[in-house]
Amino acid sequence: MKVCVDENPTNNPSRMNFFSSKSAAGRYATGRPYYHPIVIERIRKFLSLDEPLARALDVGCGTGFSTIALKEIAREIVGVDASAEMVALAEKDARIEYFVASAEKLPFAQDEFDLITVSQAFHWLNREKFLTEAARVLRAGGWLVVYDNYFSWQMESGAEFQTWYKESYLKKYPLPPRTWPAFTAEDSENEDFRLMGQEYYQNSINFSVETFVDYLVTQSNVIAQVEYGAEEIDEVRRWLIDSIKPLFGETREASFLFNSPVWFLQKTVSQYRLR
């Protein structure tokens, strides 16, 4: 694994990077679920891949979960993220090269990649600037796949959980502002891409009380209070464990529902080159 550092790594200069601190990166590396192979298989089927792509780029790679997953469909892989602390924790692999750089100023040549993926990061990016860069570094006919796996607020066997999540958790730790991804055929064509398809599915992830707390402390609303606010992480963990344990009842693990949209966009051949 090779790590290269850009001089000014920031995903979106107008917004705080909630994942830049060492402590937040460490929690992310241990607390986030590895669901990404589910999406990679959907990409394989949608693109009708009989053999791996030559070169793929994962933007907003974080600690490398979404990057490692690309090994199933690409020979050479590059991950890029604005947080040096996150990239430092990414799993080493001979086929993967990591860069610390802005998503809106990618340190790559024109027409370098066959595929770009963005996993759970598009809502932090400057849409216009990033899509311009994505079109620049993608080869003609290349693909941009944007996907998410966001928490639905639902415990599959616990009706009281949703009330706790909305009325206790989100009131104590409100969500920071973000722009949720959305693509239409008309908008995408104006942005050097054509929306070729979109999918929406749900998946369930099992957590114990402890692993669920590990997941919650990776969320940006908790990070905002811990890294940039007045609360200590141990205090947050204690409150979460005490609040969540009664919701699990006698069960050791509970299943939680996640919403998972996927957008498949293809670079239009002519628009970018005519500029």
Q: d(Cα 103, Cα 81) in Å, to the nearest integer?
A: 7
19, amino acid identity: F
> What residues are paired with 203 via a beta bridge?
258
Closest CA to 146 of 258, 275, 43: 43
Q: Per-residue pLDDT tens for 161-215? A: 999 999 999 999 999 888 888 888 777 667 789 999 999 999 999 999 999 999 9
Degrees to nearest 5, angle at CA 151 with 149 and 153: 160
Per residue in 177-192, pLDDT tens? 888 888 887 776 677 8
Q: Which residues of 153-163 are buried (b: 16+ CB within 10 A; e: fewer)?
A: bbbeebeebee
Structure tokens at 145: 């796949």
- The model's pTM: 0.90
- Across the chain, what does the average pLDDT equal? 90
Q: Indicate if the pLDDT at residue 9 is higher than 70.
A: no
CB 35 within 8 A of CB 258: yes
